[in-house]
Amino acid sequence: MASGGEQKVVLITGCSSGIGLRIAVLLARDELKRYHVIATMRDLRKKDRLVEAAGDTYGQTLTLLSLDVCSDDSVRKCIDSVKDRHIDILINNAGVGLLGPVESISMDEMKKVFETNFFGTVRMIKEVMPDMKKRRAGHIIVMSSVMGLQGVVFNDVYTASKFAIEGFCESMAVQLLKFNVKLSLIEPGPVHTEFETKMMEEVAKMEYPGADADTVRYFKDVYIPSSIDIFEALGQTPEDIAKCTKKVIESSRPRFRNLTNSLYTPIVAMKYADESGGLSVHTFYNLLFNFGSLMHITMSILKCLTCSCLRRRTISPD
């Protein structure tokens, strides 16, 4: 698998659907053919959607490999199968979500989230980074989240996994700079994917043993409807995130942090405006429990105001 002169080899994890699929296809379809995309997924039986979306780029500027980010052996085998183990751009996209009251979530479920979202990303970076450092060149992209910057109620474990990866990358970026290796975090807010829709539908029907009745009621009757409102009003598409990621890759001086949705900037800023942490905690508490109906109206207005023009403007990391 050659890098083809000026062509950069891009390896992407988690490409069976959603953001990973859209990034893979967008880069493979680059008009100047600047990228050779290695799209990876844990289960190659789920490749049909990617192959269909890739069209005539499949087998040309896009190839497919099996990769499970939770397995040392799988990661090593995948990277070993790349010519000279040469990867110019690593895009860590594979991730899993977890939603609900903590009391009803088992420790094993929590560990699985960290195994994919945190250790899976670290495993990929450990395997690819030494070669990049040796060559004094490379770009590591990590798909984080606004939840890596600001905690969100009932997303406790997912948020923790994203906070962990933010801290890891913030530390790594300093060292990598010395080796001319770039590291960038992509931080989407709500994204409309089948994964999110399916998860919302499933959690609304589930029972939550171990959690008290009030907590379950707050989760199902207050949090879930509010989340749906926010997704409908502020949500981006996987294509939006893919375009943002491509901009970061192609920037001569890529930013370390890249919020994809500028409508979320005030929410993140609020956290840093008050070092005690009280401002953001009490603001989110009031939004959820005291001003629920007001928030619903606000989100409905925002949905009307958020035209395609405004949405296009929110995807730029600049």
Instruction: Give tens-digit pLDDT for 151-188.
Output: 999 999 999 999 999 999 999 999 999 999 999 999 99
Distance (Å) of CA 202 to CA 67, 92, 117, 199, 215 = 27, 26, 21, 5, 17
Residue 120 belongs to domain spanning: 8-262
Catalytic residues: 158
Contacts 24+ apart (CB under 8 A), 253-257: 254/139, 254/182, 254/184, 254/317, 255/184, 255/317, 256/169, 256/170, 256/173, 256/183, 256/184, 256/185, 257/184, 257/185, 257/187
Is 100 flagged in the annotation as binding? Answer: no
- Give residue for tokens 């495993």: 123
Determine phi and psi for 313, rounding to 5 degrees: -70, -20
- Residue of 194, 217, 228, 225 lying closest to 101 (CA atoms): 217
Is the pLDDT at 318 greater than 60, yes or no?
no
The answer to whether position 284 is within a domain reads no
The mean per-residue pLDDT over the stretch 305-310 comes to 46
Burial of 293 (0-12, 13-18, 19+ CB in 10 A): exposed
User: Which of 123-132, 267-276, 293-302 comes out lowest in average pLDDT?
Assistant: 293-302
- In the chain, how many domains are there? 1
Is 273 flagged in the annotation as binding? Answer: no
The mean per-residue pLDDT over the stretch 20-43 comes to 97
Is the pLDDT at 304 greater than 70, yes or no?
no
- Residue of 255, 242, 256 lying closest to 315 (CA atoms): 242
pTM above 0.85, yes or no: yes
Q: In 139-294, which ranges are E strands? A: 139-143, 182-187, 257-259
Instruction: Give tens-digit pLDDT for 248-295.
Output: 999 999 999 999 998 888 888 888 888 898 988 888 888 778 765 555
Is 166 flagged in the annotation as binding? Answer: no
The answer to whether position 313 is within a domain reads no
The answer to whether position 278 is within a domain reads no
What is the domain-level CATH number for residue 230?
3.40.50.720
What is the chain's mean pLDDT, rounded? 89
248 versus 5: the higher-pLDDT residue is 248
The answer to whether position 159 is within a domain reads yes
Is 210 flagged in the annotation as binding? Answer: no
Is 170 flagged in the annotation as binding? Answer: no
Contacts (Cβ under 8 Å, ≥6 apart) of 100: 154, 203, 206, 208, 211, 219
The answer to whether position 275 is within a domain reads no
